[in-house]
């Protein structure tokens, strides 16, 4: 479906090469199956390099040894990173044992990496193990469809079941949304599972537009212009960081029963250093819808973005740029037309926090939930701290489920009073509970970056733990060691660690150098502003030292650091990122 609205007209420019690639891919099949047999390279050839992303994988190589391999005239050590699809982050103990075994036996690094989008990644899978890996996941009831590429990604849902009686209903919606928006092509089954069905959709080779609509009724033959992200969130906890996402459903309850959702569209965090046409953005409020309209609404937003998104320039292709180009009201009106319902005024709600509640909490059904803090989400056995083994030992006796959080942590959920002490003992023995972990460490986050991420400009995951030691010392010196500042680092401006929603955000510029942003808020509804460009960690520590001293002594009662930074004029707030992110003189007086 296309529109006749003249405001949705695309720039007069050739389509980006990814559009050709999708168009020629035969609904994401490409020549991946044949490529698997090519033993001359550890990587994927031609378009397949990109196409495997739609199947949840990225080709990578270990950057720590890249130069050494080149010197030895060897191909970089190519391998695959896989990202699982796990709507709402829920995984059973049996499935956990299966993924643990795969990571241990069949990956170069042996780790399970919990991500900022409630799922896990395997790093370092060699080409020969790629097909067996998908079959392994399939027999566990898992898949990696559409966790990357120009599609709707893993759907997030507020993690902790204690937070509200609405959780089960909200989680069901996250699952339904994920399935409704999945690609319907059988490419995944054909390539990885020898045609075994993953979903019930029938696939026939389409010859007409009508047939195309039947194969991919929502996404279409060339899928979306760019990646697309969706959340379901239960106030007051914005643990999924909804403003990083294109489409958000905020659960509205009445007497503990879900009655509908407020819908927010057009969030996203990535940008490019110095490119003023790119900007991070908080999502726009479209209004309230009842439960009967949820799937229709999701489909209408996705298809509007599918048809109106800029396919000529991938840097302008995400939903927020479409909204900027056509106007929020025009986009919203089109969504209403497509779903056949008008949005009602939004219902009141409030977000107060984003962090996970580390430790035990008891749910309304009397079951216990233990949130384990996993530094940077990296589960591996470290000397004296066998974290991965610890989770495996818990999985062997746990009768509830596990929930991955969007803050890279892990919840052992649904524990009976009888099993509580046993699980806590295992967690403590394996270093999964550490009473010395500071509040600052729990509220800090880093993206993966080196050595696996090809886009990393600076260290992030490997840098953060030592940096937090120094921030902790600053907090202690100012007698605020029991408090914290939401601090996040990303190795480049793509923003995977969500620094663009932190109170203090560091964005990699070059090895050892970062751009420093300040002034996000606790609820995750304000984007921080650039304070200084291209500075070293030592320079940043001096600045943070001065700011913490001022905050500790001059803050108002309960005032968080980000709000203090705005009130005292360290930076001006970002009010409307599309207008004033790059130019603070445009902030209204």
Binding site for ligand SRM (CB under 6 A): 58, 60, 81, 83, 115-117, 119, 121, 147, 153-154, 227, 229, 241, 244, 268-270, 318, 377, 408, 447-448, 452-455, 494-498
For residue 250, the minimal CB distance to ligand SF4 (Å) is 26
Q: Is the dihedral of CA 90, 93, 95, 97 positive or negative?
A: positive
Q: Which does 491 bind (CB under 5 to 8 A by kind): ligand SF4, ligand SRM, none?
A: ligand SF4
Give the pair of three-digit tokens for residue 318: 């995400």
- Closest Cα partner for 265 from 337, 343, 340, 341? 343
For the question of residue 297 being annotated catalytic, the response is no
Closest to ligand SF4 by CB, 58 or 173: 58
**Dihedral Cα 347, 351, 354, 357, nearest 10 deg:** -100
500 belongs to the binding site for ligand SF4 (CB under 6 A): no
Q: Is 161 exposed, middle or buried (0-12, 13-18, 19+ CB in 10 A)?
A: buried
Q: Which does 498 bind (CB under 5 to 8 A by kind): ligand SRM, ligand SF4, none?
A: ligand SRM
For residue 498, the minimal CB distance to ligand SF4 (Å) is 9
For residue 181, the minimal CB distance to ligand SRM (Å) is 14
On whether the CB atoms of residues 282 and 243 are closer than 8 A, the answer is yes
For residue 175, the minimal CB distance to ligand SRM (Å) is 16
Among 119, 440, 490, 515, binds ligand SF4 (CB under 6 A): 490
Q: Count Cα atoms within 13 angstroms, Cβ side, for 472.
A: 15
On whether the CB atoms of residues 52 and 32 are closer than 8 A, the answer is yes
Q: How far is CA 268 from CA 56, 319, 577, in A?
A: 20, 8, 11
Closest to ligand SF4 by CB, 83 or 403: 83
Closest to ligand SF4 by CB, 463 or 531: 463
- List, as one string, the DSSP characters of 358-400: -EEEE-TTS-EEEEEP-GGGEE-EETTEEHHHHHHHHHHH--S
Q: Mark 166-181 as b/e (b = at least 16 C-beta within 10 Å).
A: bbebbbebbebbbebb
Q: Count Cα atoms within 13 angstroms, Cβ side, for 418.
A: 4
Among 25, 164, 186, 494, binds ligand SF4 (CB under 6 A): 494
State the residue number with the nearest CB to ligand SF4.
491
Give the pair of three-digit tokens for residue 509: 């510029």
Closest to ligand SRM by CB, 119 or 521: 119
Q: Which does 269 bind (CB under 5 to 8 A by kind): ligand SF4, ligand SRM, none?
A: ligand SRM
Q: Which residues inside 406-465 make contact with ligand SF4, applying CB under 6 A?
A: 447-449, 453, 455-456, 460
On whether the CB atoms of residues 584 and 571 are closer than 8 A, the answer is yes
Closest to ligand SRM by CB, 11 or 256: 11
Identify the active-site residue in 496, 509, 522, 529. 496
In angstroms, rounded to a whole number, what is the distance separating the alpha carbons of residues 239 and 248?
13
- Closest Cα partner for 359 from 436, 419, 433, 431? 433
Residue 195: count of CB within 10 angstroms of its CB: 10
For residue 494, the minimal CB distance to ligand SF4 (Å) is 4
Count of residues of this chain found to bind ligand SF4 when the rule CB under 6 A is applied: 13
Identify the active-site residue in 157, 226, 447, 526. 447
Q: Is the dihedral of CA 300, 303, 309, 314 positive or negative?
A: positive
Q: Which does 263 bind (CB under 5 to 8 A by kind): ligand SF4, ligand SRM, none?
A: none
By three-state DSSP, how is residue 82 classified? strand
Identify the active-site residue in 84, 157, 297, 453. 453
For the question of residue 153 being annotated catalytic, the response is yes
Closest to ligand SRM by CB, 432 or 447: 447
Q: Mark 288-297 as b/e (b = at least 16 C-beta within 10 Å).
A: bbeeebbbbb
Among 93, 260, 309, 491, binds ligand SF4 (CB under 6 A): 491
In angstroms, rounded to a whole number, what is the distance separating the alpha carbons of residues 532 and 482?
28
Identify the active-site residue in 127, 229, 318, 526. 229
Give the pair of three-digit tokens for residue 131: 């097909």
For the question of residue 157 being annotated catalytic, the response is no
For residue 269, the minimal CB distance to ligand SF4 (Å) is 9
Identify the active-site residue in 83, 127, 354, 392. 83
On whether the CB atoms of residues 474 and 454 are closer than 8 A, the answer is no
156 belongs to the binding site for ligand SF4 (CB under 6 A): no
298 belongs to the binding site for ligand SF4 (CB under 6 A): no
For residue 460, the minimal CB distance to ligand SRM (Å) is 8
> Does a cis peptide bond (omega within 30 degrees of 0) precede residue 451?
yes
For residue 108, the minimal CB distance to ligand SRM (Å) is 12
Give the pair of three-digit tokens for residue 415: 């524990």
Identify the active-site residue in 22, 85, 117, 227. 227
For the question of residue 84 being annotated catalytic, the response is no
Closest to ligand SRM by CB, 241 or 356: 241
**Dihedral Cα 198, 245, 95, 101, nearest 10 deg:** 110
For residue 228, the minimal CB distance to ligand SF4 (Å) is 17
Q: Which does 117 bind (CB under 5 to 8 A by kind): ligand SF4, ligand SRM, none?
A: ligand SRM
For the question of residue 7 being annotated catalytic, the response is no
Q: Scanning the structure block, which residue is given the tokens 């397949």?
A: 48
Q: Which does 490 bind (CB under 5 to 8 A by kind): ligand SF4, ligand SRM, none?
A: ligand SF4
Closest to ligand SF4 by CB, 156 or 323: 156
Q: How far is CA 402 from CA 95, 127, 160, 533, in A?
A: 10, 29, 10, 40
For residue 54, the minimal CB distance to ligand SRM (Å) is 13
Closest to ligand SRM by CB, 22 or 227: 227
Identify the active-site residue in 332, 354, 492, 509. 492
In angstroms, rounded to a whole number, what is the distance separating the alpha carbons of residues 330 and 320?
13
For residue 316, the minimal CB distance to ligand SRM (Å) is 10
60 belongs to the binding site for ligand SF4 (CB under 6 A): no
Q: Which does 442 bind (CB under 5 to 8 A by kind): ligand SF4, ligand SRM, none?
A: none
Identify the active-site residue in 85, 113, 153, 332. 153
Residues at the interface with ligand SF4 (CB under 6 A) = 447-449, 453, 455-456, 460, 490-492, 494-496
Q: Which residues are catalytic?
A: 83, 153, 227, 229, 447, 453, 492, 496
């Amino acid at each position: 479906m296309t529109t006749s609205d003249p405001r949705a007209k695309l720039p007069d420019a050739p389509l980006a090469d990814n559009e050709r690639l999708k168009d020629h891919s035969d609904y994401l099949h490409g020549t991946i199956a044949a490529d698997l047999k090519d033993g001359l390279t550890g990587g994927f050839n031609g378009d397949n390099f990109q196409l495997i992303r739609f199947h949840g994988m990225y080709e990578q190589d270990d950057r720590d040894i890249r130069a050494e391999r080149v010197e030895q005239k060897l191909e970089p050590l190519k391998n695959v990173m896989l990202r699982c699809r796990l709507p709402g982050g829920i995984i059973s103990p049996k499935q956990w044992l299966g993924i643990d075994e795969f990571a241990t036996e069949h990956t170069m690094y042996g780790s399970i990496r919990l991500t900022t989008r409630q799922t896990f990644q395997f790093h370092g899978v060699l080409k020969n193990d790629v097909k067996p890996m998908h079959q392994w996941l399939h027999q566990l009831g898992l898949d990696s469809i559409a966790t990357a590429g120009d599609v709707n990604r893993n759907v997030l849902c507020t993690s902790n079941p204690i937070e509200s009686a609405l959780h089960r209903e909200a989680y069901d919606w996250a699952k339904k949304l994920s399935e409704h928006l999945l690609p319907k092509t059988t490419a995944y089954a054909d390539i990885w599972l020898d045609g075994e069905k993953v979903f019930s959709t029938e696939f026939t080779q389409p010859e007409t537009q009508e047939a195309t609509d039947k194969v991919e009724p929502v996404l279409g033959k060339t899928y979306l212009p760019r990646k697309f992200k969706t959340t379901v969130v239960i106030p007051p906890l914005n643990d999924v960081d909804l403003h990083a996402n294109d489409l958000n459903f905020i659960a509205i309850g009445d007497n503990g029963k879900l009655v509908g959702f407020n819908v927010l569209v057009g969030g996203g965090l990535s940008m490019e250093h110095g490119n003023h046409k790119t900007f991070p953005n908080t999502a726009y409020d479209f209004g309230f819808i009842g439960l009967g309209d949820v799937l229709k609404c999701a489909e209408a937003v996705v298809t509007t973005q599918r048809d109106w998104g800029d396919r000529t320039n991938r840097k302008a292709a995400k939903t927020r740029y479409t909204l900027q180009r056509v106007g929020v009201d025009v986009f919203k009106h089109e969504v209403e037309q497509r779903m056949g319902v008008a949005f009602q005024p939004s219902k009141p709600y409030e977000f107060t926090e984003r962090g996970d509640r580390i430790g035990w909490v008891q749910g309304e059904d009397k079951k216990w939930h233990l949130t384990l803090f996993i530094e940077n989400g990296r589960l591996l056995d470290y000397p004296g701290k066998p974290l991965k083994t610890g989770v495996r030992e818990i999985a062997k006796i746990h009768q509830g489920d596990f929930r991955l959080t969007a803050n890279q942590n892990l919840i052992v959920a649904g524990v009976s009073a009888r099993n509580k002490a046993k699980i806590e003992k295992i967690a403590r023995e394996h270093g999964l509970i550490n009473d010395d972990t500071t509040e600052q460490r729990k509220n800090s986050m880093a993206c993966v970056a080196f050595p696996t991420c090809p886009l990393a400009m600076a260290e992030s995951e490997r840098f953060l733990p030592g940096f937090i030691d120094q921030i902790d010392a600053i907090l202690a010196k100012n007698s605020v060691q029991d408090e914290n500042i939401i601090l996040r680092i990303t190795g480049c401006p793509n923003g995977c660690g969500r620094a663009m929603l932190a109170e203090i955000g560091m964005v990699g510029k070059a090895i050892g150098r970062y751009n420093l942003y300040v002034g996000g808020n606790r609820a995750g509804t304000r984007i921080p502003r650039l304070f200084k460009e291209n500075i070293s960690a030592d320079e940043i520590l001096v600045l943070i030292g001065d700011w913490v001293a001022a905050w500790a002594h001059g803050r108002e009662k309960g005032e968080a650091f980000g709000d203090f930074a705005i009130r005292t004029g360290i930076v001006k707030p970002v009010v409307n990122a599309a207008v004033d992110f790059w130019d603070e003189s445009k902030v209204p007086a």
